[in-house]
A and B are shown apart, each in its own frame.
Chain A
Amino acid sequence: MSEAQVGRSPIDPVRDEVFRKELVTLIPHLRAFARTLTGDPTAADDLAQDAMMKAWDARVSFQLGTNMKAWTFMILRNQFYSEKRRSWRQSQLDQEAAERTLVAVDDPEAPVALDELRMSLAMLPPEQREALILVGAGGFAYEEAADICGCAVGTVKSRVSRARRALQAILESGGYERDGGAAGDAMHAILADAERLSTQR
């Protein structure tokens, strides 16, 4: 299309419309990614809206026909970290996760509950969690995930693999000890264990 060639101009209604349509199809994915990053539906939608608007404002710099999903995910991720929602989230989730997981493991024969997976996921280090989400749920190739996270492909691979093991360890252990002791401490022990085991060879 010839409009794409003229796409340099900031005002290009046809190109804008093409861009807008594609952006709208990505909103559900942005919301899902934001949800895994923030762990909170309201904060997630705020983040997803911010990212959507940032993408819209930067539309001139986007080359139509390239991977808009990866591009918008990168914007969302940058937005998330720049707002330091990360530290806010961690302090909030530790306690919440501890309480909810203790309930979730009551039935030893229960299948992995979504809620429990969500809480276990929240316990992973952020860089492992996002790598696992992008590759394991978002449908991105390792290379794309590396672009989104601004790191090497090998780094993504190792993060995904560590995340998988840590997640399994958390689920298998039922989160943390049930009686006495600080759940938070036990959780950190699990993560330290999983981390140590996954790096030793």
Chain B
Amino acid sequence: MRNLALTSSIYKFGRRGRTLRTTGVEDMIEHVPMEDQRKGAASLDEARLRQQAIGVKLRQMFDEVVNEPIPDEFLDILRKAEKPSGER
């Protein structure tokens, strides 16, 4: 769950209106500026951690539905379809 806490850092970059901060992040990932190696490395780590956090949430979102009980409707429909002489 530690990963999730790290996601709070996401917002420190955001909300600058139209001038979107995608450039900064892409720079971190694609090419670390030479004059800023150390900061770049740290940012790369941070970007990776943020991606991990998103990945965790993504699975959580999916699994939330997977873990729901199957609605009866599904099993009813299937049961009816199974009847060979077509009672449905």
Query: Quick check: is A43 within 8 A (CB to CB) of the other chain?
Result: no
- List B contacts of A181 (CB < 8 A): 17-18
- List A contacts of B57 (CB < 8 A): 112, 114, 117
Count the B residues whose beta carbon is within 8 Å of the partner chain — how many? 49
- List A contacts of B23 (CB < 8 A): 193, 197
Chain A residues near B (Cβ < 8 Å): 11, 16, 20, 23-24, 27-29, 31-33, 35-36, 45, 48-49, 52-53, 56-57, 105, 108-112, 114, 117-118, 121, 132-133, 136-138, 164-165, 167-169, 171-174, 177-179, 181, 186, 189-190, 193-194, 197-198, 201
A-facing residues in B31-88 (Cβ within 8 Å): 47, 50-51, 53-55, 57-68, 70-71, 73-75, 77-78, 81-82, 84
Contact status A111-B58, CB under 8 Å: no
CA distance A190 to B20 in the complex (A): 7
Q: Interface on chain B toward A: helix, strand, loop, or mixed SS?
A: helix
Contact status A108-B62, CB under 8 Å: no
B72 to chain A, nearest CB (A): 11
B26 to chain A, nearest CB (A): 4
The residue in chain A whose Cβ has the minimal distance to the Cβ of B14 is A174
CA distance A11 to B23 in the complex (A): 60
